[in-house]
Structures are given as structure tokens and as C-alpha cells.
Amino acid sequence: MISVILVNYHTARHTLDAVASVDAQQAIDKPEIIVVDNSVSDAESAFLSAHLPGTATCIRNPENTGFASACNLAFAQSSGEFVLLLNPDARLLPGALSKLADSLTNHPDAGAVGPRVYWDDGRRFLMPPSTYPSLSGFYREAISRAIPRLSAHPSLHFRKKALQTWTCTTAMPVEALSGGHVLIRREAIQRCGGLFDPRFFMYWEDTDLVYRLKKYGYQLYLEPGAECLHYYEHSHAKDRLIAEGWPAYQQKHLRSDMRFQLIDALNKRLPPARAPYIESIAANREKLVFPVPAGLRSAWLLEIGVSPQLIPAIGYFGNGPAAEIDASLFRRLREKTYFARLSAPSLRPNPIYYWQWQGYQ
């Protein structure tokens, strides 16, 4: 059996849609669905209880203890051999759950497997592969900042990884998976010390789990045959929570590593990596249109991110004279400056075009 865990925090309607996407899965035994309501709201709890299917269990948390702690609460009451974590703003596409379960079964070395994830209903925009804080990554950052001619090295390294995950046709090992849509082997969770460390209120809890799974010898896989939608929205509030969780992760896994201490101290003293020339662009009636030069119109890749290095980045493969981000997607990019890169869909493209714009207010 598969247990499915969702955490609701004032997103009841989204949570119900996420549950419905699980309930609609075919060719698999009905999963055990557990929703933890962290909203601390009588109205929210009543709405969930009234509209969740009878097969789902709703646990009302008396206080908002955070995402990690809420998932642990649900996990303690679950019984499935496999455990699916699903965000309220995510939707499983038809057949995804059975394909994830088959992939986990067919890879006995796997601790967890994740689906191919799209940002939009049309499945044009691919969500980025999950990143993982490694010593090699910190060294690449230092080199890019210390040697200007190598400033693009980390970005191209991430792009290579992204192209592999965006275009693979069979299951492939990956360095990390997102806790927003991942199927995990219960045995692996138990062997590596439990689901989530509650010291992480929200964000970094899945990175910590990945660290522990790897430590116990488990592999992580992307299963491209399983597909999922994630209606991700960016905001300053998420930036703040991510920043607050990073020191706890450092303290737990990196502070005792002298190599990390050395490269971290160096990175704090080096100037930012040299940025490419970036042209500003304005939203036209809340739609972004990027002109495609004639030489790229047969095939191009548009990458969208929150840093000039496009780490991480959403990817959109296309062709034709213009690449567009429609109004519904533009509104999910809020409050800060965003960046886009257009180029041929190759590992070392040339030429490359860059833009930046102010997010939706």
C-alpha cells in the first residue's frame, strides 16, 4: 500500500484538488491519504472535513508546528510500504502514482523516486532539478567569483544537469529530490533516522532527508514516465524561510567539515561573479514576450530564474519567432527581479541572450 501525506496551511481548496489528483489515480490500489491541517482555523478545518473524500484522514494540528513536524505526525499514523509526499499546489497526472511505485520497485537500491514536474497545465515549462549543497558546488562558486573568465562555469554545470533531467526518457539517478512530490520507501525512512528533522520548520527538511538517505547508501531517481504539475509561486516570504533554514542545515551537516569552513570563508570575501549583459524587458499587459533571433527560431530553450546565473531555472523548449510567458504564469513570479536566458538547447550554447524584469506586484 501507498500512504500519501499532505500538509494544509490556509490552502484548503488547493489541498482538495491535490487529494483529488491522488484519488483519481488508476491501475493501483487506493492509497491511504492523510492530510494534516496546520491552519489553526475552525473554518479551514471544517471546510476540509466536509469536502475531503471519505477515504482520507484529516488530522487537525492544535498549532502550526511547521511542515516537517506535520509530515512526521502523519507518517507516524501511516502504514504504507511507500510514502508519497505531495504539496497542496501539486497535482499528479494520470498514471503517475503507479509509475512511481513501479520505478521504486524496479530499483531496489532506490530510497526515493520523483516525477517529471511541469509548472503549467500545458506542460511546456519544466521545473528545475532539485539542487543539493555539495563541496564541489561551493568550489565552483569560488572559482567563478575569483576568475572572471570562468564566471559562467556554475551556470553551465547546472544547465547540463537540467538538460539531462528535462530530456531523459528512462529513469535516471539524480543528486536530490523535492519534498513537494516524492515517493519514498518506508524502510529507507526508518533506516536513516526518520522522515524529517523537526528543527527545520519549512525548507531544508527534504535536503536533510536526502543527505541521510545518501549516507545510508540509497540512490535517488527521476522517473520521467510519471508526471506532475506544480503551480509554484515565488515570494519574499519563501526567501526568508529558506534563509532561516540554511544555518540549521550548516550546523547539522557542514560546520564540522574544515573544507566547508575554508571555502565558505573564501566565498564570503570574494566579489560576486561577473554577470553577463542583461537587457531589461517590461510586461505587456502582464504577458512577457521574448523576441527570438532568426538563427534560433528552429529550436530554442528559454530558462527562467531568480538569479543572473539561472541557478535554479525553469526550462521551456520551443521554436518560432517569440517565447512567451502568459499572464497566469507571470503572476506567479512576484515581488522581485527575475531573469531569463534564451539560447540553443545545447550544453555550451552560443549566442546567448539575457533579460530581466520586475515581478508581479
162 pLDDT exceeds 90? yes
Q: What is the mean pLDDT of residues 292-319?
A: 96
26 pLDDT exceeds 90? no
Q: What is the mean pLDDT of residues 136-145?
A: 93
Measured distance CA(126)–CA(212) in Å, rounded: 27
Where in the sequence is the domain holding 35, given as residue range(s)? 2-131+155-237
- The owner of cell 561551493 is 138
Q: Looking at the domain assignment, is residue 347 inside a domain?
A: yes
Measured distance CA(258)–CA(336) in Å, rounded: 35
- pLDDT band at 54; cut points 50, 70, 90: confident
Q: Looking at the domain assignment, is residue 149 inside a domain?
A: no
| Domain end among 237, 268, 297 | 237
User: How, if at all, do strands 32-37 and 56-60 pair?
Assistant: parallel
Mean pLDDT score of the chain: 94
Q: Looking at the domain assignment, is residue 289 inside a domain?
A: yes
Give residue-wise pLDDT tens across range 216-263.
999 999 999 999 999 998 877 788 888 888 999 999 999 889 999 999
Q: Looking at the domain assignment, is residue 261 inside a domain?
A: no
Same domain, 229 and 302: no
Q: Tell me, what's the pLDDT at 255?
A: 87
Q: Tell me, what's the pLDDT at 141?
A: 93
Same domain, 212 and 329: no
Listed in sequence order, the residues at least 6 apart from 149 whose beta carbon sits closer than 8 Å to its beta carbon are none
Q: Looking at the domain assignment, is residue 180 inside a domain?
A: yes
Q: Tell me, what's the pLDDT at 85?
A: 98
Here the contacts of 235-244 (C-beta below 8 Å, separation 24 or greater) are 235/334, 235/335, 236/335, 236/336, 238/203, 239/336, 241/201, 241/202, 241/203, 242/203, 242/204, 244/201, 244/203
Q: Tell me, what's the pLDDT at 275?
A: 86
183 pLDDT exceeds 80? yes
- pLDDT band at 296; cut points 50, 70, 90: very high
Could you tell me the CATH number of the domain that includes residue 306?
2.60.40
Measured distance CA(193)–CA(209) in Å, rounded: 9
92 membership: H or E segment, kind and range: strand 90-92
| Domain end among 237, 265, 288 | 237
Percent of the chain predicted with pLDDT > 90: 86
284 pLDDT exceeds 80? no
Q: What is the gyration radius of the CA atoms in the chain, in angstroms?
A: 21
Q: Tell me, what's the pLDDT at 345?
A: 96
**Number of structural domains the chain divides into:** 2
Q: What is the mean pLDDT of residues 56-61?
A: 94
Distance of CA 36 to the CA centre of its chain: 21
Could you tell me the CATH number of the domain that includes residue 212?
3.90.550.10
Same domain, 213 and 325: no
Same domain, 188 and 306: no
Give residue-wise pLDDT tens across range 310-335.
999 999 999 999 999 999 999 999 88
Q: Looking at the domain assignment, is residue 145 inside a domain?
A: no
Q: Looking at the domain assignment, is residue 246 inside a domain?
A: no
Q: What is the mean pLDDT of residues 8-33?
A: 94
Same domain, 285 and 215: no
Q: Tell me, what's the pLDDT at 234?
A: 80
Q: What is the mean pLDDT of residues 38-59?
A: 92
